[in-house]
A and B are shown apart, each in its own frame.
Chain A
Amino acid sequence: MKVTLKVWRQKNGSTPGQFVSYEVDQVSEDMSFFEMLDMLNNSLVRKGEEPISFDHDCREGICGTCGLMINGRAHGPLKGVTTCQLHMRSFSDGDTIVVEPWRARAFPVIRDLIVDRTAFDRIMEAGGYISVRTGGAPDANAIPISKKAADAAFDSAACIGCGACVATCKNSSAMLFTAAKVSQFAVLPQGQVERKERVLNMVAQMDAEGFGACTNTGACEAECPKEISLVNIARLNREFLRASLAG
Chain B
Amino acid sequence: MAERKTIELGYEGVPTDRMRMNVGPQHPSTHGVLRLEVELEGEIVTDVIPHIGYLHRCFEKYAEKMTYLQLIPYIDRLDYISSMNSEWPYVMGMEKLLDITVPEKVEYIRVIFAELNRIANHQIAVATFGIDAGAFTPFLFLFRDREMIITLFEAASGGRLLYNYFRIGGLSGDVPPTFKEDCLSIVKQVRNTNKEVMDLLIYNKIFVERTANVGILPADVAINYGVSGPMLRGSGLDFDLRKAEPYSIYDRFDFNIPVGKGEVGTVGDCWDRNVVRMYEMEESCRIVEQAVAQMSMEGDVLETIPKKIRPKANEIYCRAENPKGELGFYIISDGTAIPWRVKARGTSFVNLSVIPEISKGYMMADLILILGSIDIVLGEVDR
Q: Do A and B come from one complex?
A: no
Contacts from A to B (Cβ < 8 Å): none
Contacts from B to A (Cβ < 8 Å): none
